[in-house]
């Protein structure tokens, strides 16, 4: 079983829509979780860390469900500039290995 699994999409949504991505992880002892954004042919960039209580940064909301071992990312009022691949990243409980999902592709359409 993969450490981290994501729906690769693609998700094609109109501007202004709300879109949600989920990601599941296999190791229940994992402690830290992140969402990264990767534009075509560029490096991944940290979008936000995911905290146990959930956290929000502008139009972006991240949540963690430990019981079901999944994290989510919600994007409200989608902009054209949100088009990218969103990577779910889980840090091992030993703190020495980051596990990446394959990424979810989002295209926001005018």
Partner 1 sequence: ETGVTQTPRHLVMGMTNKKSLKCEQHLGHNAMYWYKQSAKKPLELMFVYNFKEQTENNSVPSRFSPECPNSSHLFLHLHTLQPEDSALYLCASSHAPGGSASPLHFGNGTRLTVT
Which residues contact partner 1 (rule: CB under 8 A)?
Answer: 4, 31-32, 34, 41-46, 49, 87, 89, 91, 94-98, 100-103
Least CB distance from residue 47 to partner 1, whole Å?
10
Least CB distance from residue 14 to partner 1, whole Å?
26
Rg (the chain; Cα; Å): 13
Return the number of the residue (8 or 16) whose C-beta is nearest partner 1. 8
Least CB distance from residue 110 to partner 1, whole Å?
27
Return the number of the residue (18 or 52) whose C-beta is nearest partner 1. 52
Return the number of the residue (12 or 94) whose C-beta is nearest partner 1. 94
Query: Residue 2: is it exposed, middle or buried by C-beta count within 10 angstroms (0-12/13-18/19+)?
Result: exposed
Beta strands in the chain (DSSP E): 4-6, 11-14, 19-25, 32-38, 44-50, 55-57, 60-65, 70-75, 84-91, 98-100, 104-109
Contact (CB, 8 A) for 84 and 39: yes
Return the number of the residue (14 or 95) whose C-beta is nearest partner 1. 95
Least CB distance from residue 92 to partner 1, whole Å?
9
Contact (CB, 8 A) for 52 and 62: no
């Amino acid at each position: 079983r993969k450490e981290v699994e994501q729906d690769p999409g693609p998700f094609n949504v109109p501007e202004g829509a709300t879109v949600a991505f989920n990601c599941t992880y296999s190791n229940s002892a994992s402690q830290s979780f992140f969402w990264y954004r990767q534009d075509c042919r560029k490096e991944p960039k940290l979008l936000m860390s995911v905290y146990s209580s959930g956290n929000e940064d502008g139009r972006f909301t991240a949540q963690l469900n430990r019981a079901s071992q999944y994290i989510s990312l919600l994007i409200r009022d989608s902009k054209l500039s949100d088009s990218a691949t969103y990577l779910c990243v889980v840090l091992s409980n030993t703190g020495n290995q980051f596990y990446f999902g394959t990424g979810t592709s989002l295209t926001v359409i005018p």
